[in-house]
């Protein structure tokens, strides 16, 4: 690429790739809360996938922008950054990708820089840094609708001349102006004459430059966001704020438990009837048994929980996209500070209610390494969605549904809420323990931007749910299917007279009996023991395992899983099982991600042993007290 000043017009992206040329790659970068992901989703739709950069933990999405009449363009969504100075891991990744220093990824052919038009002066210094890389760059000023509504204005042509790069005003949320981004990708956008941008080292000089540029581009700062102020007056009110916070949390839990019910019943009915259909279609024998009793009932028992998991992700997406999550972090900061953490740990910990894996990845926004490791170590205590299938099953089997706190909260929802609280308390206690011993550090600064409230868009929330549903089904189709088949095999050998052995005499039964002495004090028998072994892969696997075990056990063939459990477990044993699942580290994906994030086996090993010991001790106490 030429580095001289008087660049010819329409460089780089305008040139069509030759035959066999690699698809063009464009990096999408911008500060947090600038609507980067919304634009990315607009451009790529469902043609995107998640990937990890080699050697680092930062996750990124790569998608294809489909441009009718042109070659597709690969778009890479980089982490949100305020500057290109590589201080945090996110900034390092962005810096490396833009400089072509990221192993396994070639240098992008162009950049789409997205800035929040309602906050132009603050975001312009990033433009100076990006433009000085001399890659073909489109400056996208997002939130055009917001800017207009609040009486702000900008002369994009004047700004383009100031920056020496094309500037477009869009609203990624409504789709306004997004066409011009596609024009940039096909090379159909006029590029102004390049200008010499000042080399800016310190923030005050940057800001002075930004002030001058925005003044020359006739930028009118929008009026303060009235609705954000009004909503904050409620959500950050000294009394109403915490009340709303508590209501939001309670509403989420009550609804995932009651609203998901009809959907889950529908999925269950579909799984059962398709299983019967397969049984009828397949010839009798071991193949039929493997497919229907092994694979299908094992996977089906887990897929039933898809509606519940999606509902939880729906709430988290709504809270995050609306901007409430940042207020929640603010409200939570004092509580988090009390255990030595900070409000920023709250966001990963809240995500951990959905899944510990993305939560642990989200900890990289915490600058202090000790705080970050402490957050990683306690995140798996938060009740992730994989525990829900186990909790739901046992609660439904052992706790009768009655009103508990008026019509709003039933006994079952209250029990579930109690388990969430239990995990939370374990996390808090562990954090306190860690921060006062091996991870002691000075209190770290808490700096958090409060984004204006925004209406979450259907497209963005829908895409995230789609992403999650695919990930869940992929897991059900791989790990859980594999465990289900393995378990069926363990339960089917050694065969006697070509018949399946009774479950007690099978290999699985032998394994379960081998660990029975260890788990007897907790009130678990060998069948639960098999479930505990298989759930080391992933917590929800125990439900499929129990489905397979009881599905194959002639005694319980006709009984539902709940009825079977009621016969197998005492009330104390059921509570012990809940407590065990609340505390134990039964998730290989989490251990793998902890190893990657902390750079070794030390922390995941400590975590696994600590959580296991706590789970065993507390389950024993619960069983002993309730016997």
Q: Name the site residues for other proteins (rule: CB under 8 A).
A: 82-83, 85, 87, 118-119, 121-122, 125, 202-204, 207, 221-222, 224, 232-233, 236, 238-239, 241-242, 326, 330-331, 333-334, 337, 343, 443, 445-450
- Give dist(CA 572, CA 188) in Å, integer: 70
Least distance from other proteins to the Cβ atom of residue 445, Å: 5
**Residue among 8 and 151 whose Cβ is closer to other proteins:** 151
Residue with tokens 């810096």: 95
Alpha carbons 222 and 177: distance in angstroms, whole number: 19
Cβ of residue 146: shortest distance to other proteins, in angstroms? 12
Asked whether the beta carbons of 68 and 49 are under 8 A apart, the reply is: no
In the bound state with other proteins, the residue whose beta carbon lies nearer, of 221 and 432, is: 221
User: By C-alpha distance, which of 530, 553, 552, 550 is closest to 541?
Assistant: 530
CB 88 within 8 A of CB 367: yes
Measured between alpha carbons, how far is residue 623 from residues 426, 521, 525, 569, 579 in Å? 18, 8, 13, 11, 10
Nearer to other proteins, 118 or 586 (CB): 118
How many whole angstroms separate alpha carbon 160 and alpha carbon 378?
Answer: 48
- Give 119 or 590: the residue with its C-beta nearer to other proteins: 119
Least distance from C-beta 209 to other proteins, angstroms?
12
* Residue 333: CB minimum distance to other proteins, A: 5
* Choice between 336 and 614, CB closer to other proteins: 336
In the complex with other proteins, the residue whose CB is nearer, 222 or 523, is 222
Specify the 3-state DSSP secondary structure of 538. Answer: strand
Q: What's phi and psi for 65, nearest 5 deg?
A: -90, 120
Taking the complex as a whole, the smallest distance from the CB of residue 128 to other proteins amounts, in Å, to 12
Compute the least distance from the CB of residue 621 to other proteins, in Å: 34
Q: How far is the CB of 311 from other proteins (least distance, A)?
A: 29
> 288 or 367, CB closer to other proteins?
367
CB of 37 to other proteins, least distance (A): 19
- Our CB check for other proteins shows the closer of 238 and 498 to be 238
Return the number of the residue (119 or 492) whose C-beta is nearest other proteins.
119
Q: How far apart are CA 471 and CA 464, in angstroms?
A: 11
Residue whose structure tokens are 């990824």 = 105
In this complex, which beta carbon is closest to other proteins, that of residue 68 or of residue 238? 238
- From residue 233, alpha-carbon distances to 91, 222, 243, 255, 443 in Å are 34, 20, 13, 27, 29
Least distance between other proteins and beta carbon 140 (Å): 19
- CA dist., res. 112 & res. 126, Å (int): 12
Please name the helix (run of DSSP H) or strand (run of DSSP E) that holds residue 409, with its range, or none: strand 406-410
Using CA atoms in the order 532, 536, 540, 546, what is the torsion angle rounded to 10 degrees? -30
What is Dmax (Cα atoms) for the chain? Answer: 89
Q: Cα(610)–Cα(426) distance, rounded to whole angstroms?
A: 11
Closer residue to other proteins, CB minimum distance, 82 or 391 = 82
Rounded Cα distance, 524 and 527, in Å:
8
Q: Determine contact, residues 385/355, Cβ cutoff 8 Å.
A: yes
CA 432, 433, 439, 441 torsion-angle sign = positive
Structure tokens at 361: 């990845």
**Nearer to other proteins (CB atom), residue 331 or residue 622:** 331
Smallest separation, CB 87 to other proteins (Å) = 7
Neighbours of 543 (CB within 10 A): 26
Phi, psi values for residue 232, rounded to 5°: -65, -30
User: Contact at 8 Å (CB) between 76 and 112?
Assistant: no
- Which of residues 86 and 572 has its CB atom nearest to other proteins in the complex? 86
Q: Is 246 exposed, middle or buried (0-12, 13-18, 19+ CB in 10 A)?
A: exposed
Distance CA 383, CA 611 (A): 14
The continuous run of DSSP H or E covering 59 comes out as strand 59-65
Assign 403 to helix, strand or coil. strand
Quote the tokens at residue 365. Answer: 């926004």
125/512 with CB nearer other proteins: 125
Query: Min. distance of Cβ 193 from other proteins in angstroms?
Result: 29
- Which strands, in side-by-side order, build the sheet including 110-116? 48-52, 59-65, 73-77, 24-29, 110-116, 137-142, 167-169
Minimum CB distance to other proteins smaller for 129 or for 396: 129
Closest approach of other proteins to the CB of residue 368, in Å: 11
Q: Smallest distance, Å, CB 232 to other proteins? A: 6
Strand, helix or coil for residue 31? coil
Cβ-proximal residues to 318 (8 Å cutoff; 6+ apart), any chain: 456, 461
**CB of 453 vs other proteins, minimal distance in Å:** 11
Distances (CA, A) of 566 to 62, 544, 562: 48, 17, 6
We find the least distance from the C-beta atom of residue 195 to other proteins, in angstroms, to be 23
Find the shortest distance in angstroms from Cβ 81 to other proteins: 10
- CB-based contacts of 159, cutoff 8 Å, min separation 6: 139, 141, 167, 213, 214, 217, 219
- Identify which of residues 102 and 213 has a Cβ nearer to other proteins in the complex: 213
């Amino acid at each position: 690429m030429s580095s001289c000043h008087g660049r010819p017009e329409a460089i780089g992206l305008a040139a069509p790739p030759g035959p066999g040329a690699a698809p063009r790659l464009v990096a999408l970068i911008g500060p947090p809360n600038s609507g980067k992901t919304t634009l990315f989703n607009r451009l790529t739709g469902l043609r995107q996938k998640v990937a990890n950069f080699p050697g680092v933990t930062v996750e990124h999405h790569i998608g294809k922008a489909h441009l009718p009449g042109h070659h597709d363009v690969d778009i890479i969504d980089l982490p949100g950054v305020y500057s290109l100075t590589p201080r945090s891991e996110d900034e390092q990744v962005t810096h490396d990708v833009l400089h072509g220093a990221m192993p396994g990824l070639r240098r992008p052919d162009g950049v789409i820089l997205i800035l929040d038009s309602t906050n132009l002066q603050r975001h312009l210094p990033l433009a100076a840094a990006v433009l000085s890389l001399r890659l073909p760059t489109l400056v996208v000023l997002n939130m055009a609708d917001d800017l207009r509504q609040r009486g702000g204005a900008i002369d994009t042509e004047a700004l383009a001349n100031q920056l020496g790069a094309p500037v477009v005003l869009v609203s990624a949320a409504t789709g306004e102006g997004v066409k011009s981004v596609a024009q940039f990708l096909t090379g159909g956008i006029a590029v102004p004459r390049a200008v010499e941008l000042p080399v800016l080292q310190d923030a005050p000089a940057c800001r002075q430059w930004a002030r001058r540029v925005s003044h020359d581009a006739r930028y009118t700062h929008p009026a303060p966001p009235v609705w954000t102020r009004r909503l904050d007056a409620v959500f950050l009110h000294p009394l109403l704020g915490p009340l709303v916070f508590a209501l939001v949390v309670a509403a989420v839990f009550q609804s995932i438990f009651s609203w998901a019910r009809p959907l889950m019943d529908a999925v269950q009915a579909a799984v059962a009837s398709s299983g019967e259909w397969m049984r009828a279609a397949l010839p009798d024998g071991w193949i039929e048994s493997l497919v229907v009793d092994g694979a299908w009932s094992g996977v089906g028992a887990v897929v039933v929980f898809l509606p519940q998991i999606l509902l939880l992700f729906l709430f988290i997406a709504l809270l995050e996209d609306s901007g409430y999550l940042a207020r929640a972090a603010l409200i939570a900061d004092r509580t988090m500070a009390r255990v030595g953490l900070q409000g920023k740990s709250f966001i990963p910990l809240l995500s951990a209610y959905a899944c510990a894996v993305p939560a642990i990845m989200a900890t990289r926004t915490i600058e202090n390494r000790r705080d970050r490791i402490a957050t990683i170590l306690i995140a798996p205590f938060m009740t992730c969605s994989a525990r829900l299938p186990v909790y739901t099953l046992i609660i439904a089997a052992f706790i009768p549904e009655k009103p508990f706190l008026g019509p709003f909260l039933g006994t079952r929802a209250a029990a579930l809420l109690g388990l969430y609280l239990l995990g939370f308390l374990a996390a808090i206690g562990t954090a306190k323990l860690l921060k006062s011993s091996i991870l002691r550090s000075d209190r770290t600064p808490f700096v958090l931007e409060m984004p204006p409230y925004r209406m979450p868009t259907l497209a963005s929330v829908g895409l995230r749910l789609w992403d999650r549903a695919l990930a869940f089904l992929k897991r059900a189709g791989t790990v859980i299917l594999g465990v289900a088949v393995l378990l069926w095999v363990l339960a089917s050998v050694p065969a006697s007279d070509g018949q399946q052995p009774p479950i007690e005499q099978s290999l699985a039964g032998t394994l379960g009996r081998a660990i029975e002495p260890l788990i007897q004090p907790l009130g678990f028998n060998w069948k639960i023991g098999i479930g505990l072994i298989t759930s080391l892969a992933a917590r929800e696997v125990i439900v499929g395992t129990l489905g397979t075990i009881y599905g194959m056990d002639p005694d319980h063939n006709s009984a539902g899983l709940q009825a079977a459990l009621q016969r197998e477990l005492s009330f104390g044993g059921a509570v012990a099982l809940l407590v065990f699942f609340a505390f134990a580290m039964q998730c290989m994906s989490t251990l793998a991600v902890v190893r990657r994030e902390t750079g070794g086996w030390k922390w995941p090993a400590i975590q696994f042993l600590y959580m296991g010991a706590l789970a065993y001790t507390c389950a024993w106490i619960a069983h002993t007290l309730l016997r």
